[in-house]
Amino acid sequence: MEPYWAGILSLLLSVLLHLHGCCYADTWAAMPVHGTGKLQPEDGICAALVTPYGYSCEEHTVTTTDGYILSVYRIPHGVNGNSQSLGSPVFLQHGLCRAGYQWLENSPQESLGFVLADEGFDVWVGNTRGTRWSSGHIQLSVNDKAYWNWTVDELMSYDLQAMLGLVHSTTGQKSYYIGHSQGSLIALGALAQGTITELVASLVLFAPVAYLNQSKSFFAKAGADLYFEKLFSIAGITEFNPTSGIGADFMDFVCARSDSLCKAFWGPNCCMNMTRVPFYLQFDPQPTSTKNIMHFSQLIRTGTFQKYDYGTSGNMVEYLQPYPPTYELSSISTEISLFILHGGLDQLADANDVQRLIGDLKCKVKTTFVESYGHSDFIVGMHAYEDVYQDVVSFLKSSN
């Protein structure tokens, strides 16, 4: 069945590209979709990215109340730090189709995880369910369709609470929270529900997505408008993995026909070191659930920050009402402080959507707009330390 549906998707996408004629100025320069570096299957993030630079690194696991086994990595202090005197905990949460490695992919001077450790913080790095380092479950395997029955709703309700709870129980302190893209969305949703309010002090949100209907991302908008995700659902495909199976067929089809569209989901970035891309592709992209992709498509189509829409009858069963409940950003505690950073080139976290998000918040909000930045520049940009990380460190230290 998979080759058949891959063909259908390819045909639809071919028509779509022809009709839209969409391109972006900067390209992957015919970069292959999949990396072929030296990362070994048994390597954890500590061994692959942290200890080679001389930093201490701990690997922890925590089990969510719905049975998913998550990996959390800890860098307790800087390379010259004192393990007997640890700083305040900072929890870093990755974006969609990524994992905790995203905070550690560049040199220690350019990677936020290392920067924070060297600034005296106790750094914790989360990995949500379905990613390579959080693929366990007490009963299910990744080959079971039931394993992939989740969206960002479950990441908010279960994963964040479990990982932040681990940090709190270990350190006895609330965490500073830093999230990127999906990592910002799930924090905002969890705060709106009040599930992590007692576990976090203040938050830094890079390229935050909550409202998405102004997104200019070609893939995100086109996929949502044409209901691509329903084809995956009809085909019975519950895991969306861009590195294997139909997900890889989909990405290979696109990149074989348009170099620029290889990165059209996130949009252009000003400051990425393109010579590093083969190294990044050892880790990127990570799997997510097809249901999660469906949820993002719903958010784009509706322009509402809401729970997963099961349809009228399904919503009555799930929520006891015909429509999915919304996440009310105005309900976030006024005791919470947020620092929101977004970019003018970001095709996913559009500036208008971010301004709408900011307008709905009643808590204390500091903002920075970097006109030249795209979606990923905040994470792997070569000048991120000078452009934003110093301000992030100052914000966290002033929150003490």
Q: Which of 122, 249, 284, 346 is catalytic?
A: 346
Eight-state DSSP code of residue 127: -
Angstrom distances, CA of residue 104 to CA of 98, 137, 223, 249:
12, 26, 31, 29
- 295 is an active site residue: no
Residues 6+ apart with CB under 8 A from 178: 90, 91, 92, 93, 112, 203, 204, 205, 206, 392
Q: DSSP letters along 4-59, please?
A: HHHHHHHHHHHHHHHHH----SS--TT--SS---S--TT--HIIIIIGGGT---EE
- 144 is an active site residue: no
Q: Which of 88, 111, 181, 376 is catalytic?
A: 181
Contact in structure between 222 and 283 (CB atoms under 8 Å): no
Specify the pairing of strand 68-75 against strand 122-126: antiparallel
- 342 is an active site residue: no
Q: Which of 94, 137, 180, 375 is catalytic?
A: 375
Return the closest-CA partner of residue 101 out of 135, 133, 130, 78.
Answer: 133
Contact in structure between 105 and 380 (CB atoms under 8 Å): yes
Helix, strand and coil percent figures for the chain, each rounded to 5? 40, 15, 45
The phi, psi pair for 57, rounded to 5°, reads: -150, 135
Which pair of structure tokens corresponds to residue 116? 């924070």
Catalytic residues: 181, 346, 375
